[in-house]
Amino acid sequence: MRSTPIVLLNRKHVATWRLAFPARENGNHFSTNTQTVYDYLNEHGASFFVDIVSGTNLLPTMVEEALGELVFRGLLTADSFTGLRALLTPLSKTTSRAIENRRRRRKPVYSMDEAGRWVILQKDKRGQAPFPTAQSSATATSEVDRESIEAVAQKLLQRYGVVFRKLLDSESMNIPWRDLLRVLRRLEARGEIRGGRFIGGFSGEQFATADAVHLLRSMRRTAPDGTMFSVSAADPLNMLGILIPGPRLAAAAANRLLYRDGVPVAVLEAKEIRYLVEMNAADQWQARNALLRRRIPPKVRAYLNQSGSTTSPTTISRLTH
């Protein structure tokens, strides 16, 4: 549950994104407790946690696990974020004693009793696989589907700036590239985006926003200055093993990727730092601090710029204490 992807969106856009990311129903093959909770909600509609417990005659922990499975499959929602926070809270912090201690310390308490009502998300009337499959590629896409695909294409352009076939390897969408390609060509014909070859080394058509093209051109004219920035491996900027050569970095929140002048130079994975390029001791220390998001005092930063690679990690450590 703690590694489940989460999306925040306006409720009026739920139908569009359920087309692109269908719920994991697996033929409704739930566990016994999950099926019991699902049937109860399907029959009674929106219900509070205490009502579900009493109505299903299950233990609270069983109901909580069932709700977690339904949320993971994208079939369930609640009135507030408290339900999601309660599912993500370790069991050791949800006992009555732990909750009372948190209230005494005036800390926020996340419990299933305060999550509001739980309700099953309505399915789209067209089903869970609205886009043409390989067997039915000759079937024309409906106007409603085209509008949904265009909304997804616009969001991909907003996220990446440049969109092409290889980029979709980082996404788990249910929309085939051929359908996105038709929509992107239509956007180019309307003059809303540009088509061309913006990133070398990849075949096929590429499309970009005008702002992205301007930024790419300005980056080519900018000389490298050694700027480092780190991102979470769950960030869309984690292109290692997708667009950038190298072993793929798992998209976990605890993992991090470090770029220097736009080139990946180090990763933090399973609490271990791995350098992707050769670095001297001073550069490794700076990369480590950037990955761990440690702040380097200005005086130490100025000293490093003056001393270059002659400073040892031991000396640097003494300077920061």
The class of domain 134-220 in CATH terms is: mainly alpha
Contact criterion met (CB below 8 Å) for 278 and 296: no
End-to-end CA distance of the chain: 40
Amino acid at 203: S
- 134-220 and 24-120 share a CATH fold: yes
DSSP tally for the chain: helices H, then strands E: 12, 10
Q: Are strands 117-120 and 76-78 parallel, antiparallel or unpaired?
A: antiparallel
The domain limits of the chain are 24-120, 134-220, 228-319
What are residue 164's DSSP bridge partners? Answer: 206
CATH of domain 24-120: 1.10.10.10
Q: Report the C-alpha gap between 67 and 31 in whole angstroms.
A: 12
Nearest C-alpha neighbor of 256 from the set 291, 226, 296: 291
- 3-state class percentages of the chain: helix first, strand second, coil last, to nearest 5: 45, 15, 40
Q: For helices 143-160 and 177-189, what crossing angle results, to 10°?
A: 80
Residues 6+ apart with CB under 8 A from 21: 7, 74, 172, 173, 174
**pLDDT of res. 247:** 87
d(CA 128, CA 24): 10
- Strands 162-164 and 206-208 turn out to be antiparallel
User: What is the per-residue pLDDT for 165?
Assistant: 92
Tens digits of pLDDT across the chain (321 residues): 455 667 777 878 877 777 777 655 555 578 899 999 999 999 999 999 999 999 999 998 899 889 988 888 878 888 888 888 878 776 555 555 555 555 555 555 567 777 789 998 765 444 444 444 444 443 444 555 788 889 999 999 998 999 999 988 888 788 889 999 999 999 999 999 999 989 888 888 999 999 999 998 888 888 888 888 889 888 888 888 888 888 889 888 789 999 998 889 999 998 899 999 998 888 888 888 888 876 655 655 565 555 554 444 443 344 344
Residue 168's CB is within 10 A of a number of other CB atoms, namely: 16
Token code pair at residue 57: 């005659």
Give the CB-side neighbour count of residue 211, counting CA atoms within 13 A. Answer: 5
